[in-house]
Homo-oligomer: A and B are copies of this chain.
């Protein structure tokens, strides 16, 4: 239902804020649900999934710094997640020949198999949770997001 608020162009920033808070609320709820399902069904977490997804796209491995820049998290953050994935035998750190500072991190065979299962379920979950959104609206949403993304890129 549309509210009875007066149409005022000076209210734009309030409208923007309202939409932004709505975005946060909904993405938060979806993320919480995905997190819950990963925990219940696979005893894993979203950050672990994100790191495994990045590594899956690069079978030759990624340096630690490449993982953090890909996922836009701090180096220290990546270190901790990779440490724990490594303890579970899902990823491997391999020394880079010619640069003793760097490591190449890649999924183990088991890690690849586990990720494929996770990714399939994850895609099903997202599809289910976004299920009622029309194809047209999805396209609009995507375009709007591109605009925002461009704005941010030029702005920050």
Query: Which A residues form the contact surface with B (CB < 8 A)?
Result: 1-2, 9, 12-20, 22-33, 72, 122-124, 126-133, 135, 137-138, 140-152, 155-156
Q: Chain B contacts of A144 at CB under 8 A?
A: 133, 137-138, 140-141
A46: min CB distance to chain B, Å: 10
- A132–B145 CB distance below 8 A: no
Give the dominant DSSP class at A's interface: helix
Q: How long is the Cα–Cα vector from A144 to B129 in the complex, in angstroms?
A: 13
Choose among A24, A135, A141 the residue with the greatest number of B CB atoms under 10 Å from its CB: A141
Chain B contacts of A151 at CB under 8 A? 129-133
Say whether B17 contacts A152, CB under 8 Å. Answer: no
